[in-house]
Copies of this chain bind each other. A is one copy, B any other.
């Protein structure tokens, strides 16, 4: 029996039910799909998320580069599940799992569960470097994207005030770490701002001075895709005048200068961190958390060694001979695992009737900018250029949840395409460097 008193549990205020209670932590791609499919005639369903909305993370970079309004890539979670009976949403930050007492601790109190689905996603991996944690810009949540948007625009507003060439250059240098899809997409979007938008806004500045650097530790870009796609992305980014440094590592950043491992110095106030993520595992059950902070799960997404605890998506590490270190941290994996786990649980809790997970890789894609993307379908067909770009837009419009958001995003894209413009270059809340470590905050509030 639980050691927690009724008064403590009451804080989250979910009515008792005769049905077993499933608690889902995280309203990302996995958690949202799971809730959508789970049968609430068989279970009482409680979803926790630190935000009251789902974030469509693949488009965060467009918010950060003034291409889309933040509200258009966020879907209010309560709205999504308005039709769902026997469903409860709580805006809460999960902190700890006690798998023995079956209790989750959150910032608003404790909650007991019968079955737990951990869908807490991933958080930026700063490789335990406090300097990067404090001073670099991550890009995993909507507030991150707004901070970066404010920073970029504030830099330009500061640059017009400077006469010293070096000071101007420091404000116009942007360094991106990480040549995966996020890094490539941010670099391309900054390239477009440089080419089409900012010269008109800042006729006083010589926009040729704006320099975009992309630094990738491996010898190629987009290591999750084919060699050819990586080469295409490289070629496209070159056309946007992006300075590409592959096989190099950012060694330090004091807020003024980025230093690479080969000794190169880049004066810059803006280091954008897209160099990787870790799973967002909570405290508790440390014995089955991998080095990349994911929960070890079996082929049914059950967390190893603990009954009634499941993990899906980025925070789950299902290791087999095809995926020795677990599946890639991608939305389709989370969605497919959520689909299967909900289907399995809807059959009842007898695992003998359950189906094992098998990932179907439908493809991956990354966009570099206007008319330029790389797309791989079923690991075979490979596109580049305009067709790939159209496909990229189509797939993202289909995937985004709310119909209203689809409309707003499509309107923005059509507008941007024909006007060569970006409409939302607003400094609504200025970014002010904080003394508090942003990543510490993130660790304490580990929900996606």
Please name the residue on chain B nearest to A204 by beta carbon.
Answer: B88
A76→B425 contact, CB < 8 A: yes
Whether a CB of chain B sits under 8 angstroms from the CB of A82 is yes
In the complex with contacts A411-B411, A426-B53, A429-B429, A161-B71 CB distance below 8 A: no
B74→A426 contact, CB < 8 A: yes
Whether a CB of chain B sits under 8 angstroms from the CB of A200 is yes
CA distance A281 to B104 in the complex (A): 54
Looking at A10-18, A181-189, A306-314, the stretch in contact with chain B turns out to be: A10-18
CA distance A387 to B96 in the complex (A): 57
Among A10, A412, A425, chain B packs the most CB atoms within 10 A around the CB of A425
CA distance A202 to B90 in the complex (A): 11
A423→B404 contact, CB < 8 A: yes
Give the shortest distance, in Å, between A109 (CB) and chain B (any CB): 8
In the complex with contacts A411-B408, A423-B404, A428-B201 CB distance below 8 A: no
Whether a CB of chain B sits under 8 angstroms from the CB of A153 is yes
Which of B109, B143, B423, B427 sits near A428, CB closer than 8 Å?
A: B143
A71→B69 contact, CB < 8 A: yes
A interface bracket (residues with beta carbon within 8 Å of B): 35 or more
In the complex with contacts A52-B153, A79-B201, A153-B52, A71-B407 CB distance below 8 A: no
Whether a CB of chain B sits under 8 angstroms from the CB of A51 is yes
In the complex with contacts A163-B10, A200-B82, A426-B52 CB distance below 8 A: yes
Whether a CB of chain B sits under 8 angstroms from the CB of A78 is yes
Please name the residue on chain B nearest to A405 by beta carbon.
Answer: B423
A160→B402 contact, CB < 8 A: no
Which of B76, B161, B428 sits near A426, CB closer than 8 Å?
A: B76
Q: How many of these chains are in the complex?
A: 2
Among A71, A200, A415, chain B packs the most CB atoms within 10 A around the CB of A71
Whether a CB of chain B sits under 8 angstroms from the CB of A108 is yes
CA distance A162 to B11 in the complex (A): 7
28 chain-A/chain-B pairs, Cβ below 8 angstroms: A10-B163, A13-B161, A51-B426, A51-B428, A52-B153, A52-B157, A53-B427, A53-B428, A69-B69, A69-B72, A70-B71, A70-B428, A71-B423, A74-B428, A76-B201, A76-B426, A78-B201, A78-B425, A79-B201, A90-B157, A91-B157, A91-B427, A146-B429, A402-B423, A404-B415, A407-B411, A408-B412, A429-B429
Q: Note all chain B residues with C-beta closer than 8 A to A11.
A: 161
A71→B201 contact, CB < 8 A: no
Please name the residue on chain B nearest to A81 by beta carbon.
Answer: B201
